[in-house]
């Protein structure tokens, strides 16, 4: 069992992070969901149809590791993909899923290959995000999405759901949120640069970054 003060701290952190992401316009309306995996393997997750800007820490959904609701409001309809990511990534302690504008725009483009859908424009993108595979489209809440997410989550902590938005896992909620923010900035740069000739980092530069900053 996680100590009550630790659960309360995690509740507050989710609410504060949600509010920050909302105020920075990375989340809008009732889109997006956040979760933390507690030390005992249970999950705190944002409730379905809640605004990340106005979360009540006491009403967050507390789930068993098999997805059963232990207490709180009914969980996000995407609880299953949070569970799939945690299953595949034992070191992940938090998951952020948002519908931020520039990332969603990338998710709506036709991509010739789906193994990495944003160029390595900056060192911070390489350090924090790495490769960004595209997961095929499923409607929000479709349980079939779990299998598709699971397959990709094995090797990637960040992925992009087609016509939907990214899922990012991290060692902490702060880590996952910072990675998400970096991803949104890269997507913004990608559109800002448009058709101009760009010079993404090459394989040697990427390898050097990965050696200097192993994840």
Question: Does residue 78 carry a catalytic annotation?
Answer: yes
Q: Give whichever of 31 and 43 is closer to ligand 13P, judged by the CB atom.
A: 31
Instruction: Compute the least distance from the CB of residue 165 to ligand 13P, in Å.
Output: 7
* Residue list 41-60, contact with ligand 13P (CB under 6 A): 48-49
Each residue of 33-61: b (16+ CB within 10 Å) or e? Answer: bbbbbbeeebbbbbbbebbbbebebeebb
Residues 93 and 86: their CA atoms lie apart, in Å, by: 8
Q: Give whichever of 27 and 209 is closer to ligand 13P, judged by the CB atom.
A: 27
Q: Give whichever of 32 and 133 is closer to ligand 13P, judged by the CB atom.
A: 32
Asked if 76 is part of the footprint of ligand 13P (rule: CB under 6 A), the reply reads yes
In sequence order, which residues have a C-beta less than 8 Å from that of residue 65 and are 6 or more positions away? 41, 42, 43, 83, 86
Catalytic choice (12, 54, 78, 86): 78
Residues 206 and 68: their CA atoms lie apart, in Å, by: 41
Q: Which stretch binds ligand 13P (CB under 6 A): 29-37, 61-69, 131-139, 206-214?
A: 29-37
Cβ contact 212:126 at 8 Å: no
Question: Does residue 124 carry a catalytic annotation?
Answer: yes
Q: Which stretch binds ligand 13P (CB under 6 A): 25-33, 152-160, 180-188, 201-209?
A: 25-33
CB atoms within 10 A of CB 9: 14
Catalytic choice (22, 86, 112, 124): 124
Cβ contact 146:81 at 8 Å: yes
Q: Give whichever of 132 and 209 is closer to ligand 13P, judged by the CB atom.
A: 132
* Residue list 134-153, contact with ligand 13P (CB under 6 A): 140
Catalytic residue positions, numbered: 78, 124
């Amino acid at each position: 069992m996680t100590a009550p003060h630790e659960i309360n701290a995690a509740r507050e952190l989710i609410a504060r992070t949600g509010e920050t992401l909302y105020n920075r316009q990375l989340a809008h309306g009732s889109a997006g969901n956040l979760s933390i995996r507690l030390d005992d393997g249970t999950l705190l997750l944002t409730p379905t149809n809640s605004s990340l800007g106005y979360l009540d820490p006491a009403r967050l959904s507390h789930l068993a590791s098999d997805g059963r609701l232990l207490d709180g409001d009914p969980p996000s309809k995407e609880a299953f993909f949070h569970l799939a990511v945690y299953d595949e990534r034992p070191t992940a302690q938090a998951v952020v899923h948002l519908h931020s504008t520039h990332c969603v725009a990338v998710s709506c483009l036709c991509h010739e290959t789906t193994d990495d859908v944003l160029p390595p424009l900056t060192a911070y993108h390489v350090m924090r995000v790495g490769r960004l595979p595209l997961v095929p489209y499923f409607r929000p809440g479709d349980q079939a999405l779990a299998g598709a997410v699971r397959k990709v989550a094995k090797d990637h902590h960040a992925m992009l759901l087609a016509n939907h938005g990214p899922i990012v896992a991290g060692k902490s909620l702060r880590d996952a949120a910072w990675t998400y923010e970096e991803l949104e900035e890269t997507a913004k740069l990608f559109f800002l640069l448009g058709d101009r000739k760009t010079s993404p980092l090459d394989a040697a530069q990427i390898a050097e970054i990965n050696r200097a900053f192993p994840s």
